[in-house]
Structures are given as C-alpha cells and as structure tokens.
C-alpha cells in the first residue's frame, strides 16, 4: 500500500469509496465514475422504471416503486385506485431513504397516510416500494442473498458473477406484516448491520448454519427438496444482466465526462453487491445494488463490556477472498504480455491462494489510493497490495511443467475462477434490451463541451435539426418548448445539480415523447427502436456527406 505523494504510475489503483478518491491518469481503477450516484435508490428506481415502460415483462423482478416527495400524490392516488378495484387487497409498503445504507431509516407502512411527513422527507428523499410479503423462508426465517458482480468493462460490456454469495438471515421467525409487527426490524429487515445487534444473531464457524451462510448451502438445501436450482441460477443471471443494462446509459455519461474519448486515461472495473430476495415460488426480486459492498472477513466480538476484538468469519472469508483474488486475476494487466517468468508472492497473497515461486524479473505496484476503506483490502492483503510486473496470475511457465524439480505452475496453484462470465457470453439473448444505451449514445454525441453531463438548448436543437425531426406539425418553436418544459421539471425534482441543462433521464423522456408522436400505432419499445434507427441512419448519411465535402 503506497502512501500519498507517490509519483510513479501504478498498474492497478484500489480505491476505497469512489473513482475520485485520488487523481489518476493511467492504469486501472476499481471504481467507475458516477457508480455511487447511479445505484442510489432513486436513480436505480428511475432507470428500472424506464426499462419497465419499455419491457414490462422482462423487468418484473423489480418492485413497483414511487419516489418521495415528488410522487407522493401519485402514490396516494394509485393505491386508492387499486384498493377500490380490489377491496381484498391489503398491501404493505417499505420506505427507504435515498442515501441510506445498512438499514438506516427504513420502515414499513400499511397505508400512504403512514408516511412520516416530517421535514426529513423534503431534505432526505426516499423510495417507497411494495413489500414482498411472501418470501422464501429457511428455518422459518426470512433471508436475502448478497451476490458479487464484477463489471469488468463498460465498452464493450463485460459482466462476471461470483458462483457463490452470502445469505443474510433475519433473527426472528417471519410472520406476514400486520399493524402489530411492522416495527419488528429483526423479523422483516435482512440487513446484517441491523441483525448483528439482535440477541438471537448466531455467529457460526460453519458455512451451512448461523445467521450468515453461503448461498451455495441454501442451493444444496433447495436441491435436496427437489427445487430446480438451475432455473433459479438462470433467473438470477438474467436479473443481473438486465439490471446492468438499465444502469449502463447513465454510467456512460459519467464515464465520458471524467475520461473523454480519445484522451489518455485510466480504465475502470468494479465489484458490485446485488441484494436479491427469493419469493416463495423461487422468483428472484432485486432489492438494491451496492456500489461499495463490504469486503470484511471478520466481525467484532465483545469480550467484556466495552472491550471488542476482531474474530475471523469463515463464511465471509470463503466467499470474499475468492471474489477479490479472481477479480485481480481477470484484470491482471500483464497476462497478455508475460508468458515465461515466475512470480514471487507475499505471504498475504499466498493466503489468497497464490503460492510462492522463484524470484520475479521485476516489480510494479498496485496502489491502494487515498481514502481506502479499512473494510476493503487491508483486511485481505495487510502489508503489500502487490501486483508484480511479471507473469500473470493466470500464466504458467512451460519449463516448470516439464522439469520435475521446478516449481509448480501458478495456474495449477490457483483454484478455478469463482467468477463466471455472463456477458458478452449471453449477449445475443439480451441485446434487444439495449435501446436506452443507443439513446444515451445520441445524447453524448450532442453534448458538445467535453466533461459535461448536461445537454444545453443549442445541443438539443442541433440534435433535432441533424436528425430532421422537425416539420410543419412540430416546429423548432415547439422543440424549444419541449426542451424547456422537460428540463425545468427535472431540475425541480430535488436532485443536486452542479450544472444547468438537460440530464440524460430528461433527454430519454423527450426522446420517448418524440417517438410516440412519430409512430403512434406501435408499442412503446417499437416506437423508440424505430426513432433510434431513423436518427442513426440520418446521422450516418450526414456524416457521409461531410466526408464527401471534405474530400472535395
């Protein structure tokens, strides 16, 4: 771990919180710019709603959501309408503060009138969702799944899913919500940071028992009962890919702002924590996505009042060590260029599953940059967060395989990858969902000033003009009105804005509006796809003309 002030460049920077933990200009960073903002509860809900508008059946794994305070009247009206049409419907809703984490500020309600309308809802926006009342139970307890997903690349999109995850259990037997038990957080909320304070929380040295277990142990149990575990995994993979597809448009806007195309800069990868709930029928439901999942492999144990010590957690160690080890193997910058050298590994990396070899040819560091969380890598690799400029962790010297006395190959010394590639492996099955990605590409094209994330009125007019979308029924004056109306509304939604103009989500709304005007008889996703193809075709023709003029 290198201190502040280091001047030599590193191959890999491991930031504790965000991309902006320190200023870097090369190598690889374990955070994407804008990821923390993109997976916040409100932004995630908006992205998922956009996809639900386009593909309602494909995105039915995300609960119906409303954003507070702006959609409170809509929430009240829709709940009243649903109750009037079905008097037997007795819903429960869960309110989650937008910037909350570790269960902070979450509560359950039975009616919109129960929302706590103190001043905090204005200063601290929230999402209210339908509560899943019939979850799958194990040992009469509700639980959720934390799966680790590696977003290795944004363009081209490359996604890996860990083959095992964590199952975090509530600590009181589950009962469907009633007015009497709504406040019992140990029954309804699966957050580890809440349940750890319950007197019923069980720390176990086994991955199959206790209040935190491996997901594979749950799968084994389900399989023994005759459940279709393969279908469950297939559904989870589909959920992860579809969620990432919903997030990538916003991420690309942030990415081009911090790392403009055509300029030298770092590349990014990131480990995300997907929190998933299984319904009684084994349908997976996405709860949220965590940009900074905890990588602790120990827990605090109180020895005497006020005296604590850190105790290893075998469950966390089994899952998390493999995720970080194999993330480093996949992003290893030298694996394509080094084929015939050995690697020397520190004792800490040996503990991650890498065994010692003869001395390396040279060394290049992997830096833990400023702001590193104490929860992330120091627990795993206490002294040297090390990546040698030598052989890849995946490469093995041929000589060592041939000579009986030589050291064993690195590949043989390592377990098989715990991270499974799911995209582009299954790209053909999901490519039709990437419509908003293509809308975002149009948005980025007309941003004009590099480093911005907002489209000004001139850029919007240029987009309309170049794509030839105005006509006698839709004049440029109407274009200006559309821009002003949508931009003004988005800018009054209580979101922090560092710059004025039209954000991507506002542009997507305007684009959908244009598509609906032009292709009235088609379903929304066909309207949007048709307008995208029209814009791309006309822009390609315009580019061809300009090239021809340039040659002339």
- Taking the C-alpha atoms of residue 90 and residue 110, their distance in angstroms, rounded to an integer, is 8
H/E stretch holding 250: helix 229-258
- What is the pLDDT at residue 117? 63
Phi and psi at residue 125, in whole multiples of 5°? -60, 160
- Taking the C-alpha atoms of residue 92 and residue 531, their distance in angstroms, rounded to an integer, is 40
Largest Cα span, the chain: 85
- What is the pLDDT at residue 395? 42
User: In which residue ranges of the chain is pLDDT below 70?
Assistant: 1-7, 102-103, 117-123, 262, 336-412, 449-450, 494-499, 550, 552
Predicted TM-score (pTM) of the model is: 0.85
H/E stretch holding 129: strand 126-130
Beta-bridged to residue 142, according to DSSP, are: 137
Sheet containing strand 366-367, edge to edge, reads 267-268, 28-29, 12-13, 366-367
Residue whose tokens read 């702006």:
70
* SS3 at position 46: helix
- Taking the C-alpha atoms of residue 232 and residue 240, their distance in angstroms, rounded to an integer, is 12
Buried b (16+ CB within 10 A) or exposed e, 317-340: bbbbbbbbbbbbbbbbbbeeebee
Spatial neighbors of 180 by CB under 8 A, at least 6 apart, are none
- Taking the C-alpha atoms of residue 474 and residue 528, their distance in angstroms, rounded to an integer, is 18
Query: Closest Cα to residue 105, out of 135, 78, 126, 83?
Result: 126
- What is the pLDDT at residue 396? 39
- How big is the chain by its Cα radius of gyration, in Å? 26
Phi and psi at residue 435, in whole multiples of 5°? -70, -45
- The answer to whether domain 434-549 has CATH 2.60.40 is no
By CB neighbour count within 10 A (0-12 exposed, 13-18 middle, 19+ buried), where does 222 fall? middle
Query: Closest Cα to residue 504, out of 540, 550, 455?
Result: 455
Query: Closest Cα to residue 11, out of 29, 23, 32?
Result: 29
Query: Closest Cα to residue 60, out of 235, 291, 215?
Result: 235
- Taking the C-alpha atoms of residue 383 and residue 380, their distance in angstroms, rounded to an integer, is 9
- Taking the C-alpha atoms of residue 313 and residue 88, their distance in angstroms, rounded to an integer, is 46
Query: Closest Cα to residue 45, out of 71, 19, 20?
Result: 71
Could you state, in order of their start, the residue ranges of all structural domains in the chain?
133-251+258-302+309-335, 434-549
- How many Cβ atoms are within 10 Å of 90's Cβ, its own excluded? 13
- What is the pLDDT at residue 167? 96
Residue whose tokens read 């908003």:
436
Contact 509, 416 (CB under 8 A): no
- What is the pLDDT at residue 102? 64
Q: How far is CA 225 from the centre of its chain?
A: 32
Contact 490, 483 (CB under 8 A): no
Residue whose tokens read 């995630």:
44
- Taking the C-alpha atoms of residue 217 and residue 221, their distance in angstroms, rounded to an integer, is 6
Superfamily of domain 133-251+258-302+309-335: ATP-grasp fold, B domain (3.30.470.20)
């Amino acid at each position: 771990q290198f201190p502040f002030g280091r001047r030599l460049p590193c191959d890999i920077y491991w930031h504790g919180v965000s991309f902006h933990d320190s200023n870097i200009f090369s190598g690889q960073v374990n955070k994407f710019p804008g990821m923390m903002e993109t997976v916040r509860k409100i932004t995630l809900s908006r992205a998922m709603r956009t996809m639900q508008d386009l593909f309602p059946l494909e995105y039915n794994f995300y609960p119906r959501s409303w954003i507070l305070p702006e959609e409170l009247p809509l929430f009240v009206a829709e709940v009243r309408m649903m109750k009037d049409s079905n008097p037997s419907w007795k819903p429960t809703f869960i309110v989650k503060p937008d910037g909350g984490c570790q269960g902070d500020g979450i509560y359950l309600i039975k009616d919109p009138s129960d929302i706590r309308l103190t001043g905090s809802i204005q200063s601290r926006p929230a999402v209210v969702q339908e509560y899943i009342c019939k979850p799958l139970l194990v040992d009469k307890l509700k639980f959720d799944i934390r799966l680790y997903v590696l977003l290795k690349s944004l363009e081209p999109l490359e996604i890996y899913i860990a083959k095992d995850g964590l199952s975090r259990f509530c600590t009181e037997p589950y009962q469907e919500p009633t007015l009497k038990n709504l406040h019992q957080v140990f029954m309804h909320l699966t957050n580890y940071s809440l349940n750890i304070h319950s007197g019923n929380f069980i720390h176990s040295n086994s991955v199959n028992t206790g209040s935190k277990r491996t997901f594979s142990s749950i799968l084994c149990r389900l399989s023994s009962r005759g459940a279709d575990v393969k279908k469950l995994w297939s559904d989870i993979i589909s959920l992860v890919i579809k969620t990432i597809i919903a997030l990538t448009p916003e991420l690309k806007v942030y990415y081009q702002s911090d790392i403009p195309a055509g300029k030298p800069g770092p590349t990014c990868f990131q480990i995300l924590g997907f929190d998933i709930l299984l319904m009684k029928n084994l349908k997976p439901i996405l709860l949220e996505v965590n940009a900074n999942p905890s990588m602790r492999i120990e827990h605090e144990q109180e020895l005497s009042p006020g005296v604590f010590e850190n105790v290893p957690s075998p469950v966390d160690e089994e899952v998390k060590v493999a995720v970080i080890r194999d993330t480093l193997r996949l992003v290893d910058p030298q694996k394509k260029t080094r084929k015939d050298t050995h690697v020397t590994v520190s004792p800490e990396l040996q503990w991650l599953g890498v065994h010692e070899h003869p001395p390396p040819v040279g060394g290049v560091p992997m830096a833990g940059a400023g702001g590193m969380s104490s929860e992330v890598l120091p627990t795993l690799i206490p002294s040297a967060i090390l990546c040698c400029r030598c052989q890849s962790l995946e490469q093995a010297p041929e000589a060592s395989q041939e000579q009986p006395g030589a050291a064993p190959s690195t590949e043989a010394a390592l377990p098989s990858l715990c991270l499974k590639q799911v995209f582009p492996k299954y790209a053909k099955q999901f490519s039709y969902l990437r419509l908003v990605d293509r809308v975002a590409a149009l948005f980025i094209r007309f941003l004009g000033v590099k480093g911005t994330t907002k489209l000004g009125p001139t850029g919007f007019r240029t987009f309309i003009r170049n794509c030839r979308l105005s006509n006698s029924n839709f004049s440029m004056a109407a274009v200006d009105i559309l821009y002003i109306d949508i931009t003004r509304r988005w800018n009054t939604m209580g979101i922090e804005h560092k710059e004025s103009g039209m954000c991507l989500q506002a542009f997507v709304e305007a684009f959908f509006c244009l598509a609906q005007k032009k292709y009235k008889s088609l379903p929304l996703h066909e309207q949007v796809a048709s307008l995208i193809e029209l814009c791309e075709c006309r822009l390609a023709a315009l580019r061809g003309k300009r090239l021809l003029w340039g040659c002339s």
